Structure 1
């Protein structure tokens, strides 16, 4: 059963409008979550806002957002100040621009949401907008208030629906040149290149979500289960960690590639037999 929608509002393109809902495309509901306890009493520990000078707890009504202009120099922003810069309508996704679908760099993508019609009345308008974007190979750009924050968003046709991605702002994305400029742009040897390409070809498989399973999550669940049943977890054999480490960290690239290809060839012969 699908969870309740996170957001309800309208999708608008010029004079075409339809009611839609947004639901997060990802979930952390299955993640192992921890609480902080007092080890001596077993009681939960809660976080409180404490005045840095007086050391007293600050009531929620006395908490305010502030911008730091300098050391110990703050400007307090009231709710009306924040409301003044928000969108006029927090319930309408008004698509006012389109860009080619493959021109937005992945680093701008933040969080995905599924967009679907909220009722049968709006399905035709929703379908027309989705199909027109798909045929034109474009994505829509708009703005939306989510969680009290105005976000730039991208709308991408996806299967029978639309995926809305919140986008990071330009000042949140770092320039790659700062990091890649030190990498030498030398052309690799043809032989090395062909060997790596052969390894890639041998290891190319169809995508599966099993490739992104979380081994840490599974191990945590095992540990939790063992503690509940008072079972002691198995300890690794002595020397196991030492054996896992290569004797020599400096390995000739050509030699490593040859071994990779030879190993794969032997594996294929065993499977064929």
Structure 2
């Protein structure tokens, strides 16, 4: 039985309209827990508490508040917010086609599979084929649940996928975050890092080789508890040593993977200072000698 769609829409570009259905492309398998009273394992209830009145209040007494400055709010009723929602006509309106390389993955938000209607199968396949042949993706506007979205449509396996996108002002830059701009790597270090990357490089990505170890351990522990077994203590974590010498760490990583490293050559290259660095280190010594005379 096919999954239930969450919305219907029509992809439009030019005079072409392609009816589609949206299906969630992912399903979270994250572990979740219920909060229980430790005394009797009964589920707790969360009440809405007003600290000003020192009282439990009913949900009917709630309004939504938007903070315009610290501690100051303007309030909205549900109807007022409903009136502000975008008026959508179920159209995914394509505004441009671009190379996928132009889109940084940081802008991707939620993925949806696009399924076609029986009447739109031919047009759906036509769009998918044309985008695949030209290696382009579509950028479009789409209103869903009262909110306006920028979305991206791309080929995925044998169909089309839609990604909702973050707006530009929602994505952060490094700003004041230290990202090593003042610590350039030495050529010999870069060479060893490239060799390590090359040895770890695979032609294809296989997500199935990665497993959620935490989820598997929790499920196993829950099964053991349910059958009255004791849960074994996990083995102590292996402490990783601090990387004191980056060059040595790179060499050791290569050796562990069976890659030959010529220590003398690499050490010699690492010991070479760049002309600018050498000049800076000589200058104070030269001034000191002159003063001594």
**TM-score range normalised by the length of the shorter chain:** 0.7 to 0.9
Matches within 5 A, 1:1-273: 1-28=1-28, 30-89=29-88, 91-117=90-116, 119-179=117-177, 183-184=181-182, 186-189=184-187, 191-205=188-202, 206-236=204-234, 240-241=236-237, 244-246=238-240, 249-265=242-258
Q: Do the aligned residues in 2 keep the contact of 1:87 with 1:144 (CA within 8 Å)? A: no
Displacement of 1:214: 0.9
User: Following TM superposition, by how much is the alpha carbon of 1:110 offset from its aligned partner in structure 2, in angstroms?
Assistant: 0.9
Give the Cα separation in 2 of the matches to 1:40 and 1:149: 45
The structural deviation recorded for 1:166 is 1.0
Task: Extract unaligned runs of 5+ from structure 1.
Answer: 267-273
Q: 1:159 to 1:175 in 2, by over 3 A?
A: same
Q: Deviations over 1:23-63 (max 9, x none)?
A: 111111x3322111112232212333333422444444433
Give the direction of change, closer, same or farther, for the CA distance of 1:16–1:22 in structure 2 (3 Å limit): same
Shift of 1:217: 0.6
Q: Distance in 1 between matches of 2:66 and 2:212?
A: 39
TM, length-normalised to structure 2: 0.77
What is the CA-CA distance between 1:148 and the residue it aligns to?
4.6
Counterpart-to-counterpart distance in 2, 1:21 and 1:80:
28
Select the structure with the greater relative contact order (CA < 8 A; seq sep ≥ 6): 1
Shift of 1:213: 1.6
CA separation in 1, counterparts of 2:181 and 2:106?
Answer: 20
Shift of 1:112: 0.7
Are the structure 2 counterparts of residues 100 and 185 from structure 1 closer, same or farther at C-alpha, using a change threshold of 3 Å? farther
Q: 1:270 maps to which residue?
A: none
SS at structure 1 position matched to 2:217: helix
Contact 1:22 1:116 in 2 (8 A): yes
Deviations 1:175-202 (A, max 9, x none): 234435652262522x322222222222
**Pair 67,107 (structure 1): closer, same or farther in 2 beyond 3 Å:** same
TM-score (norm 1): 0.82
Alignment check: 8 A CA contact 2:88 2:146 kept: no
In structure 2, C-alpha distance between the alignment counterparts of 1:64 and 1:93, rounded to whole Å? 33
Check conservation: 2:87, 2:146, Cα contact below 8 A. Answer: no
The alpha carbon displacement at 1:254 in A equals: 2.4
Deviation at 1:261, TM superposition (A): 2.1
Q: Is the 8 A contact 1:151 1:166 kept in 2?
A: yes
Given the superposition, is the C-alpha separation of residues 181 and 245 from structure 1 closer, same or farther in structure 2, using an over 3 Å criterion? closer
After TM superposition, which residue ranges in structure 1, 4 or more long, deviate above 4 angstroms? none
Contact 1:111 1:166 in 2 (8 A): yes
Give the whole-Å Cα distance in 1 for the aligned partners of 2:156 and 2:15.
23
- State the structure with more CA Rg: 2
> In structure 2, what is the Cα distance between the partners aligned to 1:69 and 1:17?
42
Q: Are residues 53 and 21 of structure 1, via their aligned partners in 2, closer, same or farther at CA, if it must alter by over 3 Å? A: same
CA distance in 1, matches of 2:256, 2:19: 57
Alpha carbons of structure 1 residues 236 and 125: separation in structure 2 relative to 1, 3 Å: closer
SS at match of 1:50: strand
Q: Distance in 1 between matches of 2:17 and 2:233?
A: 62
